[in-house]
A and B are shown apart, each in its own frame.
Chain A
């Protein structure tokens, strides 16, 4: 059974950097075949995809966050991480790490996953001074 667990500070000051790590068990990121995502849920709003990474390090980000987001992977620790810079109160949310299903939809030269098969339980990050 694949399990994901988020970890990191629950409180971040405005203008600082939010850093979270996702530890994966039950699967090895380096086995390949999957994209590993970060998704967030703003209080009272919908879920928002932040970005994902492939085990080789290839990343894709939500264009609305691209200038502030970095996702990285450490296959030796079976972890992947999220950094979000210059945070504001609007970044207060529950942050989830997730594994995307193996299937992908291809359009032109781009193939992308289209669902999540395993999620972490999420961690609340509050941006406040």
Chain B
């Protein structure tokens, strides 16, 4: 199945806010409230940051927030910090034979 579309890269200075978009279809992002976001520092295990569009697991800073409108979801990082420099992937439940589909990934660079 096709991947969800994310921008290849987003950058910001410490303290700024950035938003990463994740665009899908009516069969995934638009049709369900089950969007999740993962942070991945290369060489380490990816980490769940957001699930069910806007819920944060315990331990995830409230600087991270998620939202959804139509076929697009977003992850916003407020008060950008050096440790936020990583790759971010969205994912959504899908009506296809696979239970979820992933985004193409976004490299966040903290300047």
Contacts and interface: CB of A to CB of B under 8 A. Distances in A.
B98 interface: yes
Q: Which 9 A-B pairs have the closest CB atoms?
A: A46-B3, A47-B102, A114-B93, A115-B36, A114-B34, A112-B99, A121-B45, A119-B46, A119-B45
14 contacts: A46-B104, A47-B3, A48-B102, A49-B99, A52-B99, A62-B97, A96-B46, A112-B93, A114-B34, A114-B92, A115-B100, A116-B91, A119-B38, A122-B45
Interface residues of B, number: 28
A49 B100 contact: yes
A114 B3 contact: no
A116 B45 contact: no
Nearest to A63: B97
Given A46-B105, A62-B98, A114 B36 contact: yes
B86 interface: no
A113 interface: yes
Interface in B12-58: 32, 34, 36, 38, 43-48, 51-52, 57
Given A105-B32, A114-B100, A119 B47 contact: yes
Contacts of A14: none
Interface of B: 3, 32, 34, 36, 38, 43-48, 51-52, 57, 89, 91-93, 95, 97-105
Main secondary structure of the interface of A (DSSP, over half): strand
Interface residues of A, number: 26
A68 to B, nearest CB: 16
A116 B38 contact: yes
Interface in A7-65: 45-49, 52, 60, 62-63
Nearest to A50: B98
A115 B34 contact: yes
A69 interface: no
